[in-house]
A = this chain, B = another copy of it.
Amino acid sequence: VAELAGPEALVAAADGGDPRALARLISLVENGSPQLRSVMRLIAPRTGQARFLGLTGAPGVGKSTVTGALVRAYRDAGLRVAVLAVDPTSPFTGGALLGDRVRMQEHATDGGVFIRSMASRGHLGGLSRAAPQALRILDAAGFDVVMIETVGVGQAEVEIASLADTTMVIVAPGMGDSVQAAKAGILEIADVFVVNKSDRPGAQEATRDLRNMLAMSRYDEGAWKPPIVLASAMSGEGIDDLFIRLNDHASWLAESGEGERRRVARAREEITVLAVAQVRERLGALPGEAHLEDLAAQVASGKLDPYSAADQLISP
């Protein structure tokens, strides 16, 4: 049914929690379907209820395990949870990854949990359009908590993490993760730090490193100071504490007005991305990267000036 249904039927089914309808809607997002316009119009009034939690950190720090532990904690609290796992470095798969199916097994019969992977379409701006739309769909489907998990700690991850109301940066002992995270400018996006694998040697050292870096930062009065939570997501240790810190941040967002500010900033970015895409569509697609590369080489060697190159780029 979900494969053939129009936007109205899909949205109605997704609102009722039908996982196939949800999966189909997110496929529309991945494919940049023309039906998205009607979908977004239909769901707009149902959005704005979910809490968005971002998780990022270098590969191997245990992001999926932390995500899984939080899913259980929120389910125990009676909340519905969706997880969007985003990998900016991989191409779209057109569906759920093997890893999702494995992860889903624990929750296979639990209608209160939905897990889905999304990857990059391989062109610039693909995820900056797609990720917010997928979150919008999960929000409208009535999930109380929507978790966004990204791979790695690069610029794309920082951007995707910035879609969240609350962003967790996960580090683990060893490997200089805290320094790597700092290098990627990720300290500034962290609302909560999680030192995972706290039972391993070096956890105290990693915590101290983070604490020292945070001590260098200046906070205005009333500003949120990111707490550092030690956890072992595998054994569940520290997850209660993390749960409390996330709720503390949610309260601060509401009281300080920062939550509203973040939601509006997110919408502003979303509108701008769509507006620029529409402007480009109206002019016809811009020529490919190869043409730009050729023009750039000509400008670099002084054969062409940048204005003439720009003319050629938009009017080939």
Contacts and interface: CB of A to CB of B under 8 A. Distances in A.
A64 B180 CA distance: 30
A43 B308 CA distance: 13
Contacts of A183: 182, 185, 187-188, 213, 217
Nearest to A46: B302
A182 B179 CA distance: 8
Nearest to A298: B267
Interface in A65-103: none
Interface in A4-50: 36-37, 40-41, 43-48
14 contacts: A45-B303, A48-B302, A180-B216, A263-B300, A264-B293, A264-B300, A267-B297, A268-B293, A271-B292, A271-B295, A271-B306, A272-B313, A275-B314, A279-B283
Contacts of A302: 44-48
Interface in A271-316: 271-272, 274-280, 282-283, 286, 292-293, 295-297, 299-311, 313-314
A234 interface: no
A32 to B, nearest CB: 12
A125 interface: no
B184 A274 contact: no
A265 interface: yes
Contacts of A271: 292, 295-296, 299, 306, 309-310, 313
Nearest to A129: B306
B270 A299 contact: yes
B266 A300 contact: yes
A280 B280 CA distance: 9
A216 B181 CA distance: 11
Nearest to A266: B300
Given A264-B293, A271-B310, 15 more contacts: A36-B307, A40-B306, A44-B304, A48-B300, A133-B306, A179-B213, A183-B213, A185-B185, A260-B300, A270-B306, A271-B313, A272-B310, A272-B313, A274-B310, A275-B286
B274 A306 contact: yes
Identify which of A270, A300, A302, A306 gathers the most chain B CB atoms within 10 Å of its CB.
Answer: A306
Contacts of A301: 48
Contacts of A122: none
